[in-house]
Amino acid sequence: MSILECRALTKRYGNKEALGGVDLTLETGRIVGLLGPNGSGKTTLIKLACGLLTPTSGEILIDGRRPSPETNAVVSYLPERTTLPLWMSAKQAMDFYADFYADFRRYAAEEMLEKLHLEQNQTIRAMSKGMREKLQLILTMSREARLYLLDEPIGGVDPATRDYILKTIIANYNEEATVLISTHLISDVEHVLDEAIFLREGSVMLHETIDAIREEKGKSVDELFREVFAC
């Protein structure tokens, strides 16, 4: 059963084409890596799935429906920037999520905050960039969503935290949910992925399972990526 479907999905910013006729289907219960160099269209694809952008042509469907408040209820999105109001404390941010998302698990969020040594009363303004990213990831993964869209979730954190975050992603997603992770740090995420999508200049170059890549190409995803996108 597919949770995300793109049909001839095209997005242009003025004359520049960010995505060109993408056809893509993601099944439930998979952890998928959305991989590609800067400007390949990864963030655009994720924003289209969240309804933050509208397609120039084609369509994108979440659980068979166009992005809307109804699909937002089943999608948990982690943007690549700090989006929480800086005046909020971690506790207020949890209150906010609990107010608007019926699937928010407060106990899970509190447990993760404790493990990552984040104080509930500390304001986001007083947190470092890494701490803010951790908090946003905690809030995103504390939802029991059907589709997680994670845009560069490990970009700004140290390797130890990176490992913890990846463990958190695996531990917190349920088997009927799909996780789409956009990242450049392929070697770090490779071991958690079921599938990989290579995007280049707005087009899908490759969409394979990790096992198929290893068996057929005889390479790791990281090696294949470096070969395909060599400058």
Partner 1 sequence: MLGKLMKHEFRATGRAGLPLCGVMVALAVIAGLAIRFLENDSGPAFQDVVGSLSIILFLLSIFAVAVGIFIILMQSFKRNLLGDEGYLMRVLPVSVHKLLLSKLFVALLWFVASTLLIGLSVLLMAAVSGEVYVSDFRELLQALREGFHAIDGVILVQILLGWIGGMAFLTLLFYADFTLTQNFSKHKVLYNVMGVVIFIVLLRLIFGLNNALDASLFRAGELFAGEDWTATFQAAAVRSSWIRIAEVYLFDVLLYFLTWGFLRYRPNLE
How would you class 118 by CB atoms within 10 Å of its CB: exposed for 0-12, middle for 13-18, buried for 19 or more?
middle
| From candidates 33, 34, 35, 47, binder to partner 1 by CB under 8 A | 47
x-or-dash pattern for partner 1, window 158-177, by CB under 8 A? --------------------
d(CA 16, CA 5): 23
Decide: is 79 part of the binding site for partner 1 (CB under 8 A): yes
Burial of 64: CB neighbours in 10 Å, binned 0-12, 13-18, 19+: exposed
From the list 23-31, 99-107, 176-184, 195-203, the region that binds partner 1 by CB under 8 A is 99-107
100 binds partner 1 (CB under 8 A): yes
Beta bridge partners of residue 32, listed in sequence order: 180, 195
Q: Which of residues 3-22 bind partner 1 (CB under 8 A)?
A: 13-14
Query: Is 52 near partner 1 (CB under 8 A)?
Result: yes
Q: Which residues bind partner 1 (CB under 8 A)?
A: 13-14, 47, 50-54, 69-70, 72-73, 75, 77, 79, 81-85, 87, 92, 96, 99-101
